[in-house]
Amino acid sequence: MTVVAHSHDLDAAPDWFTRATAVEPETGSVDVGGARISYRVWGQPGANPVILIHGGAANARWWDHVAPLLSGGRCVAALDLSGHGDSDHRSSYSRRRWAEEVMAVAGVVGPRPVVIGHSLGGFVALETAGRYGSELAGTVVVDSPARTVRPVFDADRERRMRRKLRVYESEGAIVARFRPDPEDTPLPTYLRNYLGSRSIRATAGGFTWQFDPTISMAGGMIIDEVIPPSCPLALIRGERGMLSREMSRALADEIGHDTIELEIPDSGHHIMLEQPLALAAALETLVQTWTPRPVQPSRSL
């Protein structure tokens, strides 16, 4: 069951955000390995497609205010990876299976997409590029902290990830608890309300989060696991993000061909929340370089 957000979501939101989120996408789903994978599409399928992949415990709605900024003359899709959003949960998760989900959505929206992923979604984008790079126009990894060594196994953390999500009595109570990770991410009230009310589901006794807490055990990546892609690649990091300059350089070196590295000033990990317009401008430049689109009449969002 999807929770319908209230009109006060956008109180005090900037005009561009209100206009962008007012653009209604088409919605659909595709079956991948027995799981229903939901997606949202702005623009007409087949037109220089872009596929957006959210981070861990997030969902496609985190791109609602960015996707319309990229969609003039393009098809832009955002999917819910299995275990997230409106997509089905699985008994286990892997980057390889998530990459298959991305390519299934590519089969709907058109050939040779540019695949863009944030955090966990960036690891999925890398996996997709490594396995299906000849079918992509390019890949963008947004602040995904690939490491040089695997973190030490933490049994307590695994137990926490496997426990059931808390149930809240009211929609207001759970939305008030919504916080990105890291929790010190600057988040204006309008954005917290917008994302929080679109990250929950009704359940027996009230409301809980949409994501499957076991997804975190499949999401990490160390640099040695990267399959060098055969398509163009860009790495975007926040100035205060999780992908450090050193990590970015090591990842670019491992990939072994020209890789674009960009930094978004005055941003932490969640660049689409902290500096969405700067991120959209950077993505537009990259996508336009790899898949030029016809000149469109200027739009203001």
**192 within domain boundaries:** yes
pLDDT tens sequence for the chain (301 residues): 344 444 445 668 999 999 999 999 999 999 999 999 999 999 988 878 999 999 999 999 999 999 999 988 899 999 999 999 999 999 999 999 999 999 999 999 999 999 999 999 999 999 999 999 999 999 999 999 988 776 655 556 556 555 678 999 999 999 999 999 888 898 999 999 999 999 999 999 999 999 999 897 676 788 989 999 999 999 999 999 999 999 999 999 988 878 999 999 999 999 999 999 999 999 999 999 999 865 555 455 5
Instruction: Count how many domains the chain has.
Output: 1
Instruction: Determine how β-strand 50-53 pairs with β-strand 114-118.
Output: parallel
- pLDDT reported for residue 45: 84
**179 within domain boundaries:** yes
- pLDDT reported for residue 148: 75
**12 within domain boundaries:** no
Q: Is the dihedral of CA 218, 223, 225, 230 positive or negative?
A: positive
Residue 82 sits in a domain whose CATH number is 3.40.50.1820
- pLDDT reported for residue 44: 83
Question: Helix H segments across the chain?
Answer: 15-21, 67-70, 95-109, 120-132, 155-162, 171-176, 189-196, 216-219, 245-255, 271-274, 276-290
**3 within domain boundaries:** no
**Distance (Å, rounded) from C-alpha 284 to C-alpha 282?**
5
- pLDDT reported for residue 4: 43
- pLDDT reported for residue 151: 61
**7 within domain boundaries:** no
**51 within domain boundaries:** yes
Range of the domain at 208: 28-290
Instruction: Determine how β-strand 76-79 pairs with β-strand 50-53.
Output: parallel
- pLDDT reported for residue 1: 39
**Distance (Å, rounded) from C-alpha 17 to C-alpha 49?**
22
**180 within domain boundaries:** yes
**What predicted TM-score, i.e. pTM, was given to this entire model?**
0.91
CA–CA distances in Å: residue 14 to residues 11, 18, 107, 191: 9, 6, 35, 10
**134 within domain boundaries:** yes
Q: Using CA atoms in the order 115, 117, 121, 122, what is the torsion angle rounded to 10 degrees?
A: 100
Instruction: Determine how β-strand 76-79 pairs with β-strand 114-118.
Output: unpaired
